[in-house]
């Protein structure tokens, strides 16, 4: 009996000793490991994205039909005022993506290798705000409805003029003066675009007085070479209209503008039309809408893909029918949408147009 009691006491001592060194519970360990794994996966993705960004794209295969489901949407941060945020050279990548809803209307959208839609009655008003460089993807957008292209700098994305598009060099701001003067010579183009959103600190950020001086030094002299000139394009921030009025005051008659350029980002087609009409009524000049998209920069939800389709199916016929609108450049025919809702994207990963992009460039409205 005493022996059994001693054995029992010994066994109890072993159990108590061992329990003192048992590891932390599994759920606590798994939490730490999950955090480490998330961090590792983020580092791998970052390295992979950096590597992919340096890989040259292969020559495009003949295009196939692109479904609307290839367009993706994301929820993005918004600002407190209506402003546009065009890139200096190319937009920053969107941070997230999710599947977009189907459009509210059905449109036939099977592209050919070189789309040639002419359903707009011969008006060639569609323009390409092109941040993709001199790529062969441009062939997919040279339709019977597309006439204009610019790239937020003085350099054409079509140096050999393969696609017969009217290129418009831009003097984005003071940091591009040397490039602008080196390439914008007689015969290089016919139109010059003025400064990009000078009323925004994140863009060319020019006072009206500084802009007037820069214009008189570098843009006004180009008129002697045969160029027509297009005004600076302010964002649709309400202070943009005041900025333009002050710009013309500062010019004191020394800035000749043939066309007014405007940018617009908001939600309602009716507000877009009213905004463009206001600029035309004020200055009584033809208008280039060099950036626009249904995009909410005022807080709240972004338009759905169905809303975006409805917007373009309203405004594109209006643009074609409005005589004072010289050209319109939807944002964006590009892979990288900066901080604009990626549901507005008009270019698929293949480099070809999305269904919505195809609708816009083929003029069947």
* DSSP per position, 77-130: ---SS------SSSPPPPS--EEPPPPSS-------SS----TTTT---EEEE-
DSSP string for residues in 259-301: EEEEEEEES-HHHHHHHHHHHHHHH-S-EEEEEEEE---SSSP
**Whether 248 contacts 275, CB under 8 Å:** no
Gap between the terminal Cα atoms of the chain = 101
Quote the pLDDT of residue 217.
98
Residue from 364, 336, 292, 289 nearest 115 by CA: 364
- Over the chain (365 residues), what is each successive 10-residue block's mean pLDDT? 47 41 30 26 29 31 31 30 38 30 33 44 86 96 97 97 97 98 98 98 97 98 98 97 98 98 98 98 98 94 97 98 98 94 96 98 91
Give pTM, 2 decimals: 0.71
Quote the pLDDT of residue 364.
87
Quote the pLDDT of residue 123.
75
Quote the pLDDT of residue 365.
87
Task: Collect all residues with Cβ–Cβ distance below 8 Å to 291 and sequence separation of at least 6.
Answer: 84, 86, 129, 233, 263, 264, 265, 329, 331
């Amino acid at each position: 009996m005493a022996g059994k009691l001693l054995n029992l006491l010994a066994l109890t001592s072993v159990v108590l000793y061992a329990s003192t060194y048992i590891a932390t519970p599994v759920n606590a360990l798994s939490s730490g490991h999950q955090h480490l794994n998330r961090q590792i996966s983020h580092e791998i993705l970052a390295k992979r994205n950096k590597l992919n960004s340096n890989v040259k794209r292969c020559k495009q295969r003949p295009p196939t039909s692109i479904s609307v489901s290839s367009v993706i949407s994301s929820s993005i941060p918004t600002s407190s005022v209506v402003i546009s945020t065009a890139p200096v050279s190319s937009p920053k990548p969107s941070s997230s993506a999710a599947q977009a809803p189907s459009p509210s209307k059905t449109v036939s959208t099977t592209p050919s290798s070189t789309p040639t839609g002419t359903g707009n009655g011969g008006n060639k008003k569609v323009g390409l705000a092109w941040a993709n460089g001199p790529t062969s993807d441009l062939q997919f957008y040279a339709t019977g409805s597309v006439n204009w292209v610019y790239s937020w700098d003085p350099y054409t994305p079509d140096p050999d003029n393969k696609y017969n598009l009217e290129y418009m060099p831009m003097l984005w701001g003071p940091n591009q003066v040397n490039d602008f003067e080196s390439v914008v010579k007689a015969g290089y183009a016919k139109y010059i675009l003025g400064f990009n959103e000078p009323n925004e600190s994140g863009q060319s950020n020019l006072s009206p007085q500084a802009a007037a001086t820069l214009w008189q030094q570098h843009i006004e002299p180009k008129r002697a070479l045969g160029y027509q000139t297009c005004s600076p394009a302010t964002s649709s921030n309400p202070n943009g209209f005041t900025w333009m009025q002050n710009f013309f005051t500062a010019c004191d008659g020394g800035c000749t503008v043939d066309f007014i350029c405007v940018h617009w980002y908001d939600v309602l087609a009716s507000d877009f039309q009213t905004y463009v009409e206001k600029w035309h009524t004020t200055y009584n000049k033809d208008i280039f809408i060099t950036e626009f998209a249904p995009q909410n920069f005022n807080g709240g939800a972004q338009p759905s893909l169905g809303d975006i389709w409805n917007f373009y199916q309203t405004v594109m016929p209006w643009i074609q029918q409005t005589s004072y609108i010289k050209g319109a450049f939807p944002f964006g025919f590009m892979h990288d949408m900066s901080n604009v809702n990626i549901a507005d994207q008009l270019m698929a990963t293949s480099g070809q147009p999305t269904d919505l992009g195809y609708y816009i460039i083929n003029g069947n409205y």
